[in-house]
Structure 1
């Protein structure tokens, strides 16, 4: 089985499964939500989520994967790609990632410590009467 699509919204999953079934492509869905249990909570775009527990559509037969990807592209959906976030970061070298933010923050801290140190040295020299 190959993963072809994932979404936090069950409606999107059902529509993709229906579309692929119309084209004769057999699918399996994992991580489906159970709506009648007490722990059900509505989907929220503002909640940060890694996507690991989102429902996933899998192609049952590997030979159908190419055709399934073509069907999804026809309706404007880019099929799931392994390591998509890492690929996007590598393709945009100027993009700000967590490592870039940490590097900039350490440079700013170093500059501030140097400025405070220089002010301290000037203050001590002024108190000694050198300036």
Structure 2
């Protein structure tokens, strides 16, 4: 499993999990029970140093779905473009072990105690040295600045630089590529394949085909022009390359880019 989101608020984590489940991505939420008592009016961003609790997190069950999940969160404004290294490939059982966190808190407490004792010693020495001197005019003490409170909103996580990977052909992009080919070739009959599979009847009906008769690739008749679009390669930024092949001609690799809900064809090779 791979962690894709974490937040001190369980409501945020459950909302992100619901968003991913709505897109058909299998997810799991960890560390949710310990945070249920802090929801609504009892919620606080200040962690109890004496009894720290791990933050709720959303994990992707299937690694193959991680790129699509990250793209959905990036589109929703919940992920940045670089990664701070907070995610983990550890199994779920390892994530529930608080031993390392407890040791770290214990070490921090020891350091704070030592620093406190050092400050007390330095203050005592200062009083001893300067107490025998003639007192100088009093200088107003500068009030110590209060630490800034933690932010109350969802903080977008950093996301690692993703390499180019293959994803299913977006419906809008497939429609744009097929219509471009139909407009260029102007066939009387054409059969369509998307990623090697038959398109849905609704997809065929939505195409601006002119006078051409369209059918799925498995129902192709003799003499019909075969149009295949496949292999959409992207880094998740909304741009990439797609392959278009007509009949037995050499396949073309087209650079494409998403512009809102529409797609543009940049060049062909």
- State TM-score, norm by structure 2: 0.26
Deviations 1:19-57 (A, max 9, x none): 001111000111012578xxx343223x15799611010
3-state SS of the aligned residue for 1:63?
A: helix
Q: Which residue of 1 aligns with 2:70?
A: 69
Question: Residue 27 in 1 paired to residue 27 in 2?
Answer: yes
CA distance in 1, matches of 2:35, 2:84: 29
Taking a change above 3 Å as real, the CA distance of residues 77 and 52 of structure 1, as seen in their structure-2 partners, is farther
- In structure 2, the CA distance between the partners of 1:74 and 1:53, relative to structure 1 (3 Å rule), is same
RMSD over aligned Cα atoms: 2.9
- In 1, distance between residues paired with 2:6 and 2:57? 4
Higher helix proportion (structure 1 or 2): 1
Q: Radius of gyration: which is bigger?
A: 2
CA contact (8 A) 2:27 2:60 kept: yes
Structure 1 equivalent of residue 105 of structure 2: none
Mapped partners of 1:63, 1:74: distance in 2: 19
Distance 2:7 2:59 in 1: 12
Deviation at 1:82, TM superposition (A): 5.0
Relative contact order higher in (CA < 8 Å, ≥ 6 apart): 1
TM-score with structure 1 length normalisation? 0.52
Counting matched residue pairs gives 80
Greater share of residues in strand: 2
Q: In 1, Cα distance between the equivalents of 2:25 and 2:9?
A: 21
Q: Which residue of 1 aligns with 2:54?
A: 53
For residues 52 and 22 of structure 1, do their structure 2 counterparts lie closer, same or farther at Cα, with a shift above 3 Å needed? same
Mapping 1:34-113, distance limit 5 Å: 40-41=37-38, 42-45=42-45, 47-48=46-47, 53-78=54-79, 81-83=83-85
Q: 1:53 to 1:25 in 2, by over 3 A?
A: same
Distance of aligned partners of 1:60 and 1:35 in 2 relative to their CA distance in 1, 3 Å threshold: closer
Shift of 1:61: 0.2
Asked whether the equivalents of residues 8 and 43 of structure 1 are also in contact (C-alpha less than 8 Å), the reply is no
1:72 is paired with a residue of what secondary structure?
Answer: helix
Unaligned runs of 5+ in 1: 85-131
CA distance in structure 1 between the aligned counterparts of 2:33 and 2:54, rounded to whole angstroms: 9
Query: Where has structure 1 moved over 3 Å in runs of 4 or more?
Result: 48-52, 79-82
Equivalent residue number for residue 4 of structure 2 = 4
Tell me, which stretches of 5 or more residues in structure 2 are unaligned? 87-269
SS at match of 1:8: coil
